[in-house]
Structure 1
Amino acid sequence: MRIGRREFIKLGGASAAYVLAGGAVAAPTGRAIIDVHMHAYPATMQLSTPVTNPITGAVSPIRTGADHLAACIAEMKKHNVVKGVVSGGDGDRIQAAIDWHDRAPDRFVAGAGIRGSADTPLPPLDQLRKAFADGKLKVLGEITSQYAGFSLSDPRYEPYLALAEEFDAPVALHTGTMPAGTSFDPCCTTARARLGNPELVEEALNRHPKLRLNIMHGGWPYLDDTIAMLMLYPNVNIDTGAVDWLLPRPAFHAWLRTLVESGFSKRIMFGSDHMYWPDAIGLAIDGIESAGFLTETQKQDILHDNAMRFYKLAPGG
């Protein structure tokens, strides 16, 4: 999920709008976890507003992008998150992710965060081609076409999807909804909720049948449409980013249970989408671990094994 400075400030004061409910915090299991939905910010980024978790209200000492990276690594170690798929947030969405990978190449897989709006134009194709060829980038995404006012099926994304197909690079797409008031923000006046419907990517998938597509945020709240896409397209997976810690716990569990009972436990991947709040990684993990309806095998699949298969990660990562 892309979130800008203004939304960050708004969410920081919105903890009353969200509530963790529905059971005690699950005990850590020590299992290895893969987070397929992380965000990097430039090391020089400065935050003038204290970072307050919108769920817990906890205030973090983070003031720079470098602080943010250090805190994310600390949280990953704390929760045994052995690998993170990361794309850029504000600023240079490609270089920030590459910088994280360069800092900890065994820990991070770098993705190219692209949009295609007036304020964040699509990067030169040659730049991306070189980065993929050099192995600096492994994922195309997070693609935030919804914020730009387009679906992934829009022709402007065609050469980028062809490039992903050429390099067998997974594509990660923002779907679902956005923070309150996004379309009134000067950066995102073209953003529309309807463009987050996962079914809108169908034409792109048919033009590029070799694509592996991660429907980020699991397409929430378009549950039926997400199930329809999973049923028809075996090359599609989803992640649980943001919904596993920002939604009230009973609502998240009801959504997740429907997907699992529909037969898709092998297609769901854990993502935190922690944004500016590294401590959200633990909250997101607990969203899965505390789901009493999941078997241990299903938890292992969601928290680790499904991502290993989808992202074709090396054993041990």
Structure 2
Amino acid sequence: MTVGMAGGMKGDEGEDVRRFWRGLGIPGLVDVHTHFMPESVLRKVWAYFDGPGPLTGGVEWSITYRAEEDERVGMLRGFGVRAFTAMLYPHKPGMAEWLNRWAVDFARRTPDCLHTATLFPEPGVAEYVRKALDDGARVFKAHVQVGAYDPADALLDPAWGVLAEAGTPVVIHCGSGPSPGKYTGPEPVGRVLARHPRLRLVIAHMGMPEYEDFLGLAERFGEVRLDTTMAFTDFSEEFAPFPGRALPRLSGLGDRILLGSDFPNIPYPYVHQLRALERLGLGEDWLRAVCHDNGARLFGL
């Protein structure tokens, strides 16, 4: 089963995806970057992509998997995704706690979702981060571009400390792609890591387009990881190509690269992300680690 660019079913993309991971000899996929959120919020996200707005860099962006929540969950299960996330994020104060409450319910009714929470620089953030951890959150999402905040903001410092102490991964969109923000780029994140070197940041989108700078942070800080979300695909290579000279560094960090897809908000079929990784030519051991083993180890699957 697959969903076309207009949302209609066609072909059997599920079989294509399953054939990919079966060929690697792994039990399925672990995707650390998928989006589930309250329907009212998701519809606004989709409407934004339909724009396109300034955060998409003026790029035409069709949503391939525009479907109801239960159908989207079923698609991931049909692909053989063993574990996935509910990447949700606030764009203003007072929104994160509400999203976190929704995420508790979603995780309870979706056991293969890694319970996801979020945060924003505001008074009380450390307290609601602790509450989310107590409620079972296993991964957090931070979106510097959409939230338009400095990740090194003093208001966030105690929350980063709580998450570092807990060893809870944080998927953070902090690269300047597809459109730069005031606080995107490696420098603000470097300041966070200087204060919290054990913080398990997962750099979304491989840090696109500042790939090499974020690879450098991963080489410097042993708990930093990167996810593959949209990187290396035909779509992203047009405006933010990954430099071929950095492939040896990508290979060397093979134990800290995690599969991410951005499902459902991608302008191409899910299997294309997998094929884009395959054509890097880094070998089956690297692919097995990225598509399953690294995420399974990080989350104790």
Alignment TM class, shorter chain as reference: 0.7 to 0.9
- Give the whole-Å Cα distance in 1 for the aligned partners of 2:214 and 2:88: 25
- Give the whole-Å Cα distance in 1 for the aligned partners of 2:40 and 2:149: 31
- Give the whole-Å Cα distance in 2 for the aligned partners of 1:34 and 1:256: 24
Choose the corresponding residue for 2:100, options 91, 94, 107: 94
- 3-state SS of paired residue (1:112): strand
- 2:12 aligned partner: none
- 1:247 aligned partner: 236
Corresponding pairs, count: 266
- Give the whole-Å Cα distance in 2 for the aligned partners of 1:242 and 1:278: 10
* Offset at residue 77 of structure 1 (A): 2.1
Task: Call closer, same or farther: CA 1:280–1:99 in 2, change over 3 Å.
Answer: farther
- 1:81 aligned partner: 81
Task: Call closer, same or farther: CA 1:46–1:40 in 2, change over 3 Å.
Answer: closer
Contact kept in structure 2, 1:93 and 1:114, CA below 8 Å: no
- 1:274 aligned partner: 263
TM-score by length of 1: 0.70
- 3-state SS of paired residue (2:32): strand
- Give the whole-Å Cα distance in 1 for the aligned partners of 2:35 and 2:244: 26
TM-score by length of 2: 0.73
- 3-state SS of paired residue (1:88): coil
Report the AA paired with residue 112 of structure 1: A
Matched, 1:114 2:119: yes
Q: Can you list the C-alpha shifts for 1:11-61, whole angstroms capped at 9, x where unaligned?
A: x99xxxxxxxxxxx9953324110011111214558498998x98968666
Q: Which structure shows the higher helix fraction?
A: 2
Choose the corresponding residue for 2:201, options 213, 219, 222: 213
Q: Can you list the C-alpha shifts for 1:247-297, whole angstroms capped at 9, x where unaligned?
A: 138935848735434x212221110112535975333223223x1512111
Please give the root-mean-square deviation of Cα atoms over the aligned residues, in Å: 3.6
Task: Call closer, same or farther: CA 1:128–1:230 in 2, change over 3 Å.
Answer: closer
Task: Call closer, same or farther: CA 1:76–1:259 in 2, change over 3 Å.
Answer: farther
- Give the whole-Å Cα distance in 2 for the aligned partners of 1:203 and 1:266: 24
Contact kept in structure 1, 2:65 and 2:72, CA below 8 Å: no
- Give the whole-Å Cα distance in 2 for the aligned partners of 1:233 and 1:285: 27
Percent identity of paired positions between Structure 1 and Structure 2: 23
Task: In structure 1, list runs of 5 or more residues that go unmatched.
Answer: 1-11, 14-24, 184-190
- Give the whole-Å Cα distance in 2 for the aligned partners of 1:46 and 1:104: 17
- Give the whole-Å Cα distance in 2 for the aligned partners of 1:267 and 1:59: 28
- 3-state SS of paired residue (2:87): strand
- Give the whole-Å Cα distance in 1 for the aligned partners of 2:123 and 2:147: 10
Choose the corresponding residue for 2:287, options 299, 312, 315: 299
- 3-state SS of paired residue (1:156): helix
Matched, 1:286 2:282: no
Task: In structure 2, list runs of 5 or more residues that go unmatched.
Answer: 7-16, 51-58
Q: Which structure shows the higher strand fraction?
A: 1
* Offset at residue 151 of structure 1 (A): 3.1
- 3-state SS of paired residue (1:39): coil
* Offset at residue 305 of structure 1 (A): 1.1
